[in-house]
Amino acid sequence: MYAGGAFLTGDEIADALMDLAAALAEASLAEPVEIPVMGPDGARITSSFLVGPASQIVTEVADWDGEELVDAETVERLRVLTRATRPVAALADDEAPAAAAGWDDGFSTTA
């Protein structure tokens, strides 16, 4: 549900949209996003949403007899946007997080 309306989409698409909405809200950013939804006649259509800090999006399980709407390309696009909004540092497999950040615990002694 968004802006007083209800939209039917697939579980993975809804989850990816919610993750993006949370990331954008944390970063105080907004982004226009298009996702596939089922139209009133059951046909696949595209809906646009402005997702950001003020967005109030709610998901709920719908009683639907048709096939679940699946769109791997949309899910990946939303995940890419989410990752871009929440950048993280990559560590080498053998590198501890503290060492990667250059932290010194202050307890090391040199002899």
**pLDDT in the model for residue 102:** 58
The DSSP bridge partners found for residue 37 are 45
**pLDDT in the model for residue 74:** 95
CA–CA dist 6, 95 (Å, integer): 47
Phi, psi of 110 (to 5 degrees): -115, 140
Q: Break the chain into its structural domains and give their ranges.
A: 11-93
CA–CA dist 78, 16 (Å, integer): 6
CA–CA dist 48, 32 (Å, integer): 7
Q: Give the burial string for 5-41 (b: 16+ CB within 10 Å, else e).
A: eebbbbebbbebbbbbbbbbbeeeeebebebbbbeee
pTM of the full structure: 0.73
**pLDDT in the model for residue 42:** 84
Is residue 27 within 8 A of residue 85, CB to CB? The reply is: yes
Per-residue confidence of the chain (111 residues) as pLDDT tens digits? 566 678 889 999 999 999 999 999 999 999 999 999 998 888 999 999 999 888 878 888 888 788 889 999 999 999 999 999 887 655 555 555 555 555 555 555 555
Q: What beta strand segments (E) does the chain contain?
A: 31-38, 44-51
